[in-house]
Structure 1
């Protein structure tokens, strides 16, 4: 039984996604005897925030869990060609690591790492896990970055098809994505398991915080509010900031004490370019530290995130589990993975069907009635997060996949 694993991610460990969605799983699985080499691509702007000694300490901390961290520099320019360069570099480094360690499993997170692994000779004896992380090509089209059926769209779809033909196990984020893959007939001649593992949340990290901790967190940023909506995340391509602000304006008409808090690492210039203005009397725009996010989310009365729904049936927003783990209901739009059914059926928020004032007013009324449930609602939110989106649930699913492949 070979429990050595090469895990390849095109996201960096120094970004917020991997500490939330990758390393917690690896730490849990390491307790079962798995030894990991984690290969990531780090952005220069992230590397510049750390000294060599600090980077070494991060690596040493992971080694305590049987995880060896190797990183390469992520290249953004020139556009498209830089990704090709990263793939070639990643291939040679992965080939060296695979020849040296003789991995039992190579686990790739997304299409780009998948292309890197595609070229590794299977004579090395590894099993292959393709962790899809949504529909890359369709999401770029929805964000206005690519044209559907354009050159890059077709290249990514061809890569996906090849990955499906070579993989030993597939992981998707939603039931809807699993159904769509099954309908393609890619696996009609192969017995391949397709596991659904949504973006999960560390229930302890995003648990309930004391009133003192929450008060101190708000005081640090000069935030005063009797009622608070919070949006955490990027302001760019895929998130509908204007529509969120419109919803907030309608809601603040019903409650004059309502404020809107935006937690992001993006610059406010992103909003200026979109001609979206922030009323400093009603809204706050801050750049919190990563470790401050859980306590700040606990300060919300409700979390809000609207996402461009174009072919987003394969998406699982990290924000959903984080808000629910904090005991907070959510305001979301329809068309995003399995979120609508989860929120609606369990009464842990409201779902916007159309972006117009009448719809907003109906959902605001529904939300305010829901908030009257107080602690009952908070308990229900946490119970839903624990049942469907907990880190332990996700780790158990990965454990089953790994166990099956290392028999």
Structure 2
């Protein structure tokens, strides 16, 4: 029988909770120092994904440190006192594994997928990177150029540009409005001392979550993690507790009170446009209604945006709606890529579909279809160890609870057409920003 894991309040060192889902077993322990370890044992799987989650993202950067989080994602692969960058790469290549990292607005994750027999190596290497990064001055300057090239590559993609500029327009001077990777100016300006200070403040036992899924044994992983962190020089204080999760209280500082319109001129064939505004925070109780709204409005081939804009009128190849939830704040947007001359018509149609749901709601057939779509997607999305590892990390750092698949499906099925209409009305009433990128004239 599956059991819900209420991660909030289970922060005492050594506390454990267990749950089973389709034969899998999920366990959680809090080590001395506040390090949290979550595992999901998946019977019969010969591989595993291990991730080290640090509760720091681009929103946590202070003046003079902008870009430091993304910088660290790169620099942790550049070596430790006991391993060179080549040693780190060869450790995973030698066993056919994959290692990578990702920086978000609220967390950073270093992860590897390996055979079950190579999990001890993956834990040892990742722990060495997290605890003992050299942050060599020469390597930092080399990587500064690499990151500038990465930013330039992103800037060449109008689809990426429109999303980043939309976040900046809708969220204004709020830290969540900043680009995750930093800007060319911030990357050029941030000194090594600032990156080092950012590392020492945020890469600590109380901010670290180790998540592993696949062919893993919880007790073994806990032992290996503790040994690896101590070997890396961390002091795991028996009295240490995890750093508190972000508050879910609504935030509005710096967020514009009126919509912003922005046109970015690029010599490309197609225009990219997003219209929308603030959305739901990650912990908002209406997040399950939000998944249903997106499924109906812009989440697939049967969605209203796809049918109205692409299938009936042939105005765009790609169109969808999206939501991004963070601590205390979120984004909601409607996207389309179309011929520049059709932007006004397409944006009017997108807004009209949102307002139609806000006024009239959705049909019973749409509600039933969206629940089926979400149910299938939820199950299919957890077929591999990587997605399950990510679910553990996100539950621990963001949500404070880990729902089984059955519990998540129950919450989706509990959404009513009234819930969806009321949410659409709320989102439609908020200040509306629009960003378009394309070959527009003056």
- With structure 1 as the length reference, what TM-score do the two structures score? 0.30
- With structure 2 as the length reference, what TM-score do the two structures score? 0.29
**Which structure has the larger Rg?**
2
Q: Which has the bigger relative contact order, CA under 8 A and spacing at least 6? A: 2
